[in-house]
Amino acid sequence: MSTPPLPPPPATTAEGFLPVGDGHEIFWEESGSADGVPTLYLHGGPGGRLTPGYRRQSPAGRARVIGVSQRGAGRSVPGAGAPGAVDLSTNTTAHLVADLERLREHLGVTSWVVQGVSWGSTLALAYAQAHPERVLGVVLFAVTSTSRREVDWITEGVGALYPEAWDALASVAETHGGFDRRDRSSQRLRLVEAYRRMLTGPDGALVDHAARAWMTWEDAHIGIGGGGPAQPHPVEGDRSVSEYERGFARLVSHYWAHDGFVADWAGDWGASPGAGLLGGMPRLAGIPGVLIHGRRDVSGPALTAWELHRAWPDSELVLVEEEGHGGPLMVDAWREALGRLLG
């Protein structure tokens, strides 16, 4: 029996651009009920974009749904995918968290439920730890914390499951980026750093060659178990790389090469140096949260979701056995979690 088609997502009721400094303007949009509970949606990537489907997940008439394109991504300007070399020095997790606070103040929101998908769950945790007094609850989908362990796994370790796809990815970095897969020393150049250099450099042809290879790899490693709600797709060999694809690859490699800029995130709050977001979880005491993850998510093993849940007594962990980096059962759990938090 075929699955009935989904209803169209709710239309937006307001949208705009907010200057946030450093020459950036972030795009935001609203939908739902103006007098509902404010909810903030954070897309994946880094470098993803707002896809209208997220607006369906909040209960009709009970939520003021706010979506934002992160710096350099989606409709925010300037875009990270512009031709030529780019400077991403003012595009870090701390900058994104500050942008969200500016947006909250701009929209007159006192506090909100924060929801994040994939990389968006890392950003949601970072924001909640920085501003717990502004967070009513948290819903995380395809949970990540962008630790060094996760980045090394998703860029190199998971190649054990996709050796042919990883070989193609590594070959480009070996030919053009100075990566040496035979080097096992502690000082070796990481694959993700090799891609960061290629993707932000001045050689436009190399930038697009690297972006094509990166997007193909992304599509391979999230393919098990249904795929994400806004998954990337490989660039077909017979067409040019789009600004979105170039920007996505640039921002992902930039953030991942710096381990999400969260390695010492909790240092000012009393956690041990290098503890990252896991070390800052005590900041979320008293805030309810739901972590939704697919057991078959080979690009992001369930260990991260489990560790965060264990360090956050007020959270609930939902593991969907038959899905990976997204899927319809996980989306159902997302919708149900939002309904309970808003209730």
Active centre residues (catalytic): 118, 297, 325
Provide the sign of the torsion angle of the four alpha carbons 98, 99, 100, 101, taken in this order.
positive
- Return all residues near 39 (Cβ < 8 A) that are at least 6 apart: 32, 58, 63, 64, 65, 66, 112, 113, 114, 115, 338, 342
Identify the residue whose tokens are 């709710």: 10
Q: What is the DSSP string of 92-114?
A: SHHHHHHHHHHHHHHTT-S-EEE
> What is the enclosing helix (H) or strand (E) of 158?
none
Instruction: Give CB contacts under 8 A, 24+ apart, made by 310-315.
Output: 311/278, 311/281, 311/282, 312/281, 312/284, 313/285, 314/284, 314/285, 314/286, 314/287, 314/288, 314/289, 315/138, 315/284, 315/288, 315/289, 315/290, 315/291
Q: Select from 207, 255, 254 the least CA-distant residue to 235.
A: 207
